[in-house]
């Protein structure tokens, strides 16, 4: 740590300065994108020391790279973690972590509402490796604790969830997981380190799809894992062999996006709360899902463990999917796309995006109404987004 040690600083300051100093070259004020695949040494002894990890340095781009290392260090400092490593995508981070830490015969306890890809790992891929997975109803903390009590190697949590913004009590469940000696992993993608600190509430590992809020500009895929050094090391070791390495160009874009993370997320928190309150008053809207509303079943938990309630909300239209079809094309200030966490507002129905492969009954079992729309708030002016939503809602029969 040099002159720019910002460990005690506010999130805004850390987002700008953290992790970069070591990687600035030739008096540049910005971290360079290092495209070099390998790193040369004059001296075999030094090369050997670096290869063994006894000395800092880089050998080969599948293992480490300076631009990628700067990003990992910034996110490590934002999450106040012991260690961090990165992956080519969020799913590479999640699958790499699970495959590195689990063995045949191990048991995983998780929830039914994890991200679609994660859920596929649990239901389709981990069973092939004889890993036993139990998925509990997301809101049912007692049921999760009861499953943990039967023995558990890894407890996998996500909060708030996609797309109905369910909330889990991280302090309670981390403690319950640790009583069974389980490793506790939390997907913090929706909350971001600006709003929620799972490691401070007892989790061992935090995973991010950096594609979403961390990068924030919908122009780079990436994944990050932070937390306990031994566990991050194991996941890194798997990744350096399996090869799901983050590209330096993507690392740079995410690093640059991160500088405005706190600014963006605070604006998104503020807009999302106002929009959720507005939608709750609209006749065409059946239900609004947002942890910041007092009507949310776990609003008190969210208020305790989150500094802001995040930039994603969802709402269902009374007219079901017919309304969704009419409503979405009316939005002027939203991409209709399968993404979230960007500076532009993004909207879409889970029925055709994240949960397209489920039957109507399966979606109903997850509490996903057919008329649901996920709305990821961008950084546009709140009043413009409110006007856009109001105008589009006005086109629906229930508003007539
Ligand atoms: C998008 C997302 C992922 C997967 O990330 P990719 O970068 O698309 O692989 C994982 N978890 C959550 C909560 C997500 O929103």
Determine how many CB atoms are found less than 10 A away from the CB of residue 16: 18
pLDDT exceeds cutoff 70 at 211: yes
Q: What mean pLDDT is predicted for residues 49-78?
A: 95
pLDDT at 235: 98
Q: Is 142 a catalytic residue?
A: no
Percentage of residues of the chain with pLDDT beyond 70? 100
Atom index in ligand 1 nearest the CA of residue 93 equals: 9
Atom index in ligand 1 nearest the CA of residue 221 equals: 7
Q: What mean pLDDT is predicted for residues 315-342?
A: 96
**Average pLDDT of the chain, as a whole number:** 95
pLDDT exceeds cutoff 80 at 356: no
How far, in Å, from the CA of 328 to the mean position of ligand 1?
A: 23
pLDDT exceeds cutoff 80 at 344: yes
Q: What is the dihedral of CA 340, 342, 346, 349, to 10 degrees?
A: 0
Q: Residue 3 — very low, low, confident or very high, per pLDDT cuts 50/70/90?
A: confident
Q: Residue 363 — very low, low, confident or very high, per pLDDT cuts 50/70/90?
A: confident
Compute φ and ψ for 107, nearest 5 degrees. Answer: -120, 135
Burial label for 174, CB within 10 Å (0-12, 13-18, 19+), is buried
Ligand 1 in contact with 198 (CB < 6 A)?
no
Q: What mean pLDDT is predicted for residues 332-337?
A: 97
pLDDT at 93: 98
Q: Residue 325 — very low, low, confident or very high, per pLDDT cuts 50/70/90?
A: very high
Q: Residue 53 — very low, low, confident or very high, per pLDDT cuts 50/70/90?
A: confident
Q: Is 212 a catalytic residue?
A: yes
pLDDT at 25: 87
Name every residue whose Cβ is closer than 8 Å to that of residue 103 and which is 6 or more positions away in sequence. 131
Structure token pair of residue 145: 């604790």
Domains and CATH numbers, the chain: 11-258 (3.40.640.10), 261-393 (3.90.1150.10)
Report pTM.
0.96
Atom index in ligand 1 nearest the CA of residue 223 equals: 7
CA nearest to 132, candidates 101, 115, 153 = 153
Q: What mean pLDDT is predicted for residues 149-161?
A: 97
Compute φ and ψ for 37, nearest 5 degrees. Answer: -75, -35
Ligand 1 in contact with 310 (CB < 6 A)?
no
Angstrom distance (rounded) from CA 211 to CA 218: 7
- Label residue 192 left, alpha or beta by phi (over 0 means left) and psi (-120 to 50 means alpha): left
pLDDT exceeds cutoff 70 at 39: yes
Q: What mean pLDDT is predicted for residues 6-23?
A: 90
pLDDT at 1: 54
Q: Which of 114, 189, 219 to mutate to test the pocket of ligand 1 (most atoms within 8 A of CB)?
A: 189
Angstrom distance (rounded) from CA 339 to CA 119: 17
Atom index in ligand 1 nearest the CA of residue 341 equals: 15
CA nearest to 169, candidates 133, 195, 202 = 202
Angstrom distance (rounded) from CA 50 to CA 379: 43
pLDDT exceeds cutoff 80 at 186: yes
pLDDT exceeds cutoff 90 at 265: yes
Q: Is the peptide bond before 267 cis (omega within 30 degrees of 0)?
A: no
Ligand 1 in contact with 338 (CB < 6 A)?
no
pLDDT exceeds cutoff 70 at 239: yes
Q: Is 5 a catalytic residue?
A: no
- Check 4, 41, 60, 62 and give the catalytic one: 62
Q: Please report the sign of the dihedral spanned by the C-alpha atoms of residue 196, residue 288, residue 298, residue 155.
A: negative
CA nearest to 379, candidates 229, 245, 213 = 213
Ligand 1 in contact with 221 (CB < 6 A)?
yes
Q: Is 115 a catalytic residue?
A: yes
Angstrom distance (rounded) from CA 18 to CA 32: 15
pLDDT exceeds cutoff 60 at 190: yes
Structure token pair of residue 350: 């889970």
If DSSP states are collapsed to H, E and C, what string results for the chain? CCCCCCCCCCHHHHHHHCCCHHHCCCCCCCCCCCCCCECCCCCHHHHHHHHCCCCCCCCECCCCCHHHHHHHHHHHHHCCCCEEEEECCHHHHHHHHHHHHCCCCCEEEEECCCCHHHHHHHHHHHHHHCCEEEEECCCCHHHHHHHHHCCCCEEEEECCCCCCCCCCCHHHHHHHHHHCCCEEEEECCCCHHHHCCCCCCCCCEEEEECCCCCCCCCCCCCEEEEECHHHHHHHHHHHHHHCCCCCHHHHHHHHHHHCCHHHHHHHHHHHHHHHHHHHCCCCCEEEEECCCCCCCCCHHHHHHHCCCCCCEEEEEECCHHHHHHHHHHHCCCCEECCCCCCCCCEEECCCCCCCCCCCHHHHHHCCCCCCEEEEECCCCCHHHHHHHHHHHHCCCHHHC
Query: Measuring from atom 4 of ligand 1, which residue has the nearest CA?
Result: 90
Ligand 1 in contact with 90 (CB < 6 A)?
yes
pLDDT at 398: 83
Ligand 1 in contact with 212 (CB < 6 A)?
yes
Angstrom distance (rounded) from CA 196 to CA 192: 6
Query: Measuring from atom 8 of ligand 1, which residue has the nearest CA?
Result: 90
- Check 106, 113, 169, 187 and give the catalytic one: 187
Q: What mean pLDDT is predicted for residues 101-124?
A: 96
Query: Measuring from atom 7 of ligand 1, which residue has the nearest CA?
Result: 90
pLDDT exceeds cutoff 90 at 289: yes
């Amino acid at each position: 740590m040099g002159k720019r040690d910002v460990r005690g600083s506010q999130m805004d300051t850390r987002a700008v300065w953290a992790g970069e100093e070591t990687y600035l070259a030739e008096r540049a004020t910005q971290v360079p994108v290092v495209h070099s695949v390998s790193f040369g040494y004059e001296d075999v002894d030094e090369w050997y020391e670096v290869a063994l990890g006894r000395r800092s340095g880089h050998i080969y781009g599948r293992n480490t790279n300076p631009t990628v290392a700067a990003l990992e260090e910034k996110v490590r400092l934002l999450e106040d973690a012991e260690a961090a490593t990165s992956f080519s995508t969020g799913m590479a981070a999640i699958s790499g972590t699970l495959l590195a830490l689990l063995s045949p015969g191990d048991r995983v306890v998780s929830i039914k509402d994890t991200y679609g890809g994660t859920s596929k790992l649990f239901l389709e891929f981990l069973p092939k490796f004889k890993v036993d997975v139990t998925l509990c109803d997301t809101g049912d903390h007692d049921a999760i604790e009861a499953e943990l009590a039967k023995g558990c190697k890894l407890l996998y949590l996500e909060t708030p969830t996609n797309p109905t913004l369910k909330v889990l009590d991280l302090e309670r469940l981390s403690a319950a997981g640790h009583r069974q000696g389980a490793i506790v992993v939390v997907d913090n993608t929706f909350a971001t380190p600006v709003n929620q600190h799972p490691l401070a509430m007892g989790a061992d590992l935090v995973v991010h799809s950096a594609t979403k809020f961390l990068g924030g500009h919908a122009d780079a895929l990436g994944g990050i894992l932070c937390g306990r050094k031994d566990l991050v090391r194991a996941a890194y070791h798997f990744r350096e062999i399996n090869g799901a390495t983050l590209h330096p160009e993507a690392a740079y874009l995410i690093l640059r996006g991160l500088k405005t993370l706190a600014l963006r997320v605070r604006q998104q928190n503020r807009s999302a709360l106002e929009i959720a309150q507005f939608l709750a008053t609209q006749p065409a809207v059946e239900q609004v899902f947002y942890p910041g509303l007092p009507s949310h079943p776990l609003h008190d938990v969210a208020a305790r463990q989150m500094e802001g309630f995040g930039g994603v909300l969802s709402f269902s239209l009374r007219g079901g999917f017919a309304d969704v079809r009419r409503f979405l094309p009316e939005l002027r200030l939203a991409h209709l796309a399968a993404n979230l966490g960007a500076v532009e507002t993004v909207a879409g129905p889970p029925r055709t995006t994240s949960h397209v492969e489920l039957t109507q009954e399966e979606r109903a079992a997850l509490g996903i109404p057919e008329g649901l729309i996920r709305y990821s708030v961008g950084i546009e002016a709140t009043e413009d987004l409110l006007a856009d939503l109001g105008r589009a809602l006005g086109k629906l029969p229930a508003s007539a």
